[in-house]
A and B are shown apart, each in its own frame.
Chain A
Amino acid sequence: MAQGELIIKGGFIVDPTRKINGDVGDVAIKDGKIVEKVSSSAKVIDAKGKVVMAGGVDVHAHVAGPKVNAGRLMRPEDKLRAGTCRSNMAQKNGYRMESGFSIPSTFKTGYEYARMGYAFVMEAAMPPLLAPHTHEEIHDTPIIDEAALPVFGNNWFVMDYIRKGEVENTAAYIAWLLKVTKGYGVKVVNPGGTAAWAWGLNCLGLNDRVPYFEVTPAEIMTGLMEANEYLGLPHSMHVHQNDLGNPGNYAITIDSLKLAEGIKTKNKFGREQVMHSTHLQFHSYGGEGWGTFCSKAKEVMDYVNKTKNITIDLGCVTLDETTTMTADGPFEHHLHGLNHLKWTNVDVEMETAAGVVPYVYDPNIKVCDIQWAIGLELALYAKDMDRTFITTDHPNAGPFTRYPRVIKWLMSKQARDAVLNSFKHKDKVLDAISLHTIKRELSLFEIAQMTRAGPAKCLGLGAYYGGLAPGMLGDVAIYDLNFKDMPRDPEKIEAAFQRAACFVKSGEIVVKDGEVVSNGHKKTVWVNAKMPENPQVTRDVTQAFTKGTYTMDIRNYPVRDYLAPHPFVIEYDVEA
């Protein structure tokens, strides 16, 4: 956190947390936090004629950890697509070297997010056994604050407790694991299916039984939601559903979302949902095969719109060559069977698995174009933008550096039509989608809801991130856009969001005119939900190590404090 005072003067403030939509005003920052006012000696940043928003919050991106690194390692060719090189100036001023396009190096990840005015990023899947690796990468990612979600959906302990109907034990195990891995919340990836993958199988239906564990994906999700609310964690269960990426999967998607019905939110962090369904684009497919593949975004969003205790993020396809990576091991194997590119897999004992496959979203391929349209349709059919967040499931549907492009498409029908008209199989694509019939163009206020206020609230971080109210963290992005006179050329919207005119992180100017000017002061955010010790869970966990189901010593399992040198810990007592 930077000491001293700063005032951002005369910008068009867009802050959905306080319902401010383009009013001209000042934002004052003192000692890294937003305050009512500062003294006359404060450093002045002139934002006249520019849009001022809180620092961006990314609810779901794969930016640090073993599978991200497996992707970097196996794809030297990705480095050729990096574009810009480190300038002489950056070299002289000691900014770290940047590399990679779809899976950028940690240094580039931090710098690129900062250039786009993002303050907080959630690493979407951390295998608990490999948590020290994730934290080492987070440590090496400059500027941005990060947290990581450990994966629970295929964890042996969790499946065992849920089969026996033991909510309290599930909760105690989650609390213990969050503490020892310095994790943030409950991530679920292809519940049951990834566990089945350890034997080369999968669970595609909600009621398929997981081999040996005899639970179903539906039971795992329900059990984890109950345990999550038992603990009152800041974030809800964050789920990547079963049957990802297959034609006709929208039905199972809606069935999974229905599991949230009847589950009540319980927390002190302002969160309203009990389920966050991530990268919904991959789960909103109709058709019976790739030939009849079509969008079911409307059907899925109709359900989401009327169900208040669900939040979603988009997972927009950006039509780039990218690298898919997910803890959905069987899906990556399946994908590799479709595109025959290289395939990396990592099964992690007792906990999870992961796969990595490069993928080219080619605009000349009909299915890719339909996927592109579905991501945007989801956003444009959404009624509550505080529950709908912009992501590309980085790097699965496209790199996070394409967020500005997604924003452009959402804000401009002209930009969408230009892409639609460029498709080789335009007619076939139009038959399968409804994007071309949607006239809606999102406003800056709605974009701020989807990239700031909404995700911060969904993560239970609404008191710190996503807004500009006094008391919140001093993360402010200034974009070169005139609120009163928005550019007619949609490319200018993309350019403005790609390189912030100025970005203040924790009260320190880290980006000026799109260039990084400081390595900032990053923080690692994690949750310590304090519960009385649960002897059953302690015994079960200890036995897994002493009986050697794990191949590591239990003393070396918890992430040591020095690996997360700038902790920002959300600590509270669980009320049973």
Chain B
Amino acid sequence: MPKLIKGVGCPYCGSSCDDIEVLVSDDETKILEVHNACIIGTNLFHHANDPTRPKLPRMRQPDGSMKEVTYPEAIDWMAKTMLKAKKPLIYGFGSTNCEGMSAVARIAEKAGAVLDNCATICHGPSFLAIFDNGYPSCTLGEAKNRADVVVFWGCNPMHAHPRHTSRYSIFPRGYFTQKGQMQRTVLCIDPRETDTAKLADHHLMIDQGHDYELFDAFRTVLRGFDIPETVAGIPREKIKEAAEIMKKAKFCMIFFGMGCTHTDGRNHNIDAAISLTRDLNEHTKCSIMAMRGHYNIAGPGQVWSWQFGFPYCIDLTKGSHAHMNPGETSSVDLAMRDEVDCFVNVGTDAGAHFPIQAVQHLKKHPFIAIDPNFCMASEIADLHIPVRIAGVDEPGVVYRMDNVPIQFRAVIKGLPGVPSDEELFDMVYERMCELTNTQPVWLAAKADRKYPESPAVI
């Protein structure tokens, strides 16, 4: 009898929907049907059925081919490589669980590595703005229950976060927003007429790269000063109208995406957005939220903040203390300057996302990819170690885009012999300790540590 598992978290975007229902085979090895998820999420679950999924690590041979090796061999190689490297870079973590992020930190401390996550190429500028200006935000339920004005700035959830608008921001009927979309005024600020813009009540088609000016214009208007006839390609009257809508809102919610963080101005745009949010709080209630990309990309920012005090770009090479200086200790900059001598790609695809020059530099040195599937990084790697898929055959905590921890569950049994990220990192760490003749440090005694059960069903 197939089993229907409810309340499953989806391992795709930062919306981290946890209302998915998955029908699995009686022996809990196959996913048969996926309900409620968007098309991308559905496909991610079905990928787990792929019979060609790697089950053993593969090591690059002198002739350039890849050969399957055992896990102990791979772990030994990785441990030795990490110890030998002067400045290894461990990067990724958008798509794995927090248990893995916590475990990798032990390796990073032991190896004296740089720890970085995908924020370095997406919402890193948002972090810089938060360092300067704070982050007046809320959980997504607040937006759902209260927001009567929703602003999407430089983001396109209809494509990037397919269920965001139906679960949290536009359509849902919340406690104080019983009429759903009818009760909400949606503003979209985007140089393109995206599908989100088509959905909006007001689309401010901004000149590309002029976000800062428009944020500034809104603030100026809100403070009662006059602005030029057009700012960033938007007529004065339109800006005043939009500012008035935000000001008159009972609860105004601003979502921003990489249209703000990766256009001219970068962190300054976010800085202005946060200031605008703050200013609006003089008139009404207003919150702001970054549209985080992956289902657990908020996770490393949280885990490493409590462990090292910094969300990303964490340089542990000094051994005595953690040090963060984006630009100096950020992955792409390190790679472009050819400063790292070993690269570990975990749960992301630097091969696809990094500039080609950065990848070329990284490729000169040992390159390790840890990923459940084949990807560009795994295909250029010297060692590819497959792991279980967090959220499909491995449970664990993930942080939604609003930093709400969601305890994901596994729906099927993992491939036999394939470890989770956490188990793999713990084994590598133990091997590193063996090689250096030191005692591994587990904050909780190893024997007592309980790995999440698989599959975890309450």
Contact = CB atoms under 8 A, between A and B. Distances in A.
A91 B7 contact: no
Given A91-B320, A96-B109, A140 B407 contact: no
Interface in B102-154: 102, 109, 127, 130-142, 144-146
B306 A140 contact: yes
A558 B397 CA distance: 12
A440 interface: no
Contact of A198 (B98, B135, B142, B433): B142
Interface in B365-410: 397, 399, 403-409
B305 A69 contact: yes
Contacts of B441: 94-96, 519
A366 interface: no
B172 interface: yes
Interface string B435-446: 000111111110
A519 B287 CA distance: 40
Contact of B141 (A91, A103, A551, A556): A551
A306 interface: no
Contact of B322 (A99, A106, A133): A99
A438 interface: no
Contacts of A556: 7, 9, 18, 406-409
Interface string A74-85: 111011001001
Contacts of A100: 309
Given A85-B320, A142-B443, A200 B405 contact: no
A74 B135 contact: yes
Interface stretch (A3-11, A171-179, A560-568): A560-568
Nearest to A342: B134
B157 interface: no
A551 B144 contact: yes
A527 interface: no
A95 B319 CA distance: 11
A132 to B, nearest CB: 4
In which size bucket is the chain B interface? 35 or more
Contacts of A346: 137-139, 403
A130 B405 contact: yes
B19 A553 contact: yes
A59 to B, nearest CB: 22
A17 interface: no
A136 to B, nearest CB: 6
A486 B167 CA distance: 65
Contact of A86 (B167, B250, B321): B321
Contact of B451 (A107, A132, A554, A562): A562
A92 B438 contact: yes
Interface in B13-27: 18-19
Contact of A200 (B109, B130, B281, B456): B281
Interface centre among B141, B306, B324, B397 (most CB of A within 10 A): B306
B174 A86 contact: no
B256 interface: no
A195 to B, nearest CB: 12
A347 interface: yes
Nearest to A107: B307
A505 B381 CA distance: 46
Contact of B7 (A75, A133, A344, A553): A553
Contacts of B262: none
A109 to B, nearest CB: 9
B251 interface: yes
A570 interface: no
Given A74-B130, A94-B438, A565-B449, A99 B443 contact: no
A97 interface: yes
A560 B407 contact: yes
A95 B443 CA distance: 10
B134 A344 contact: yes
B130 A132 contact: no
A207 to B, nearest CB: 23
B310 interface: yes
Nearest to A142: B443
A499 interface: no
B281 A79 contact: no
A99 B308 contact: yes
A345 B136 contact: yes
Contacts of B181: none
Contact of B306 (A72, A78, A549, A566): A72
A562 to B, nearest CB: 4
Contacts of B259: none
Contacts of B251: 198-199
Contacts, number: 228
B458 interface: yes
Contacts of A103: 309
Nearest to A101: B309
B270 to A, nearest CB: 13
Interface stretch (A42-50, A255-263, A348-356, A399-407): A348-356
Contacts of A553: 6-7, 18-19
Contacts of B311: 73
Interface string A121-147: 000000001101100110111100000
Interface in B67-86: none
A439 interface: no
Contact of B309 (A76, A142, A198, A562): A76
Given A72-B309, A562-B450, A555 B458 contact: yes
A129 B98 CA distance: 17
A477 to B, nearest CB: 21
Contact of A199 (B250, B316, B399): B250
A73 B278 contact: no
B165 interface: no
A356 B135 CA distance: 9
B308 A97 contact: yes
A91 B442 CA distance: 14
A139 B444 contact: yes
Contacts of A32: none
Contacts of B140: 349, 551
Interface in A524-576: 548-556, 558-563, 565-566
B141 A350 contact: yes
A398 to B, nearest CB: 18
A97 B443 contact: no
B301 interface: yes
Interface in B164-181: 167-168, 172-176
A70 interface: yes
B90 to A, nearest CB: 15
Contacts of B322: 79, 97, 99
Nearest to A68: B306
A133 B398 CA distance: 10
A333 interface: yes
A88 B319 CA distance: 8
Contacts of A105: 306-309
B2 interface: no
B138 A560 contact: no
Contacts of A139: 443-444
Contacts of A522: 443-444
A481 B127 CA distance: 46
A428 interface: no
B109 A97 contact: yes
A521 interface: yes
A566 B134 contact: no
B452 interface: yes
Contacts of B309: 72, 76, 78-79, 99-100, 103-105
B194 interface: no
5 contacts: A74-B134, A91-B320, A95-B441, A552-B406, A556-B409
The 10 closest A-B pairs by CB, nearest first: A349-B141, A342-B134, A555-B7, A200-B285, A347-B138, A553-B7, A85-B320, A94-B441, A345-B136, A99-B309
Given A95-B441, A336-B134, A350-B145, 15 more contacts: A72-B306, A72-B309, A73-B305, A86-B321, A107-B307, A130-B403, A136-B405, A137-B306, A140-B306, A198-B142, A346-B139, A348-B142, A521-B445, A522-B443, A551-B141
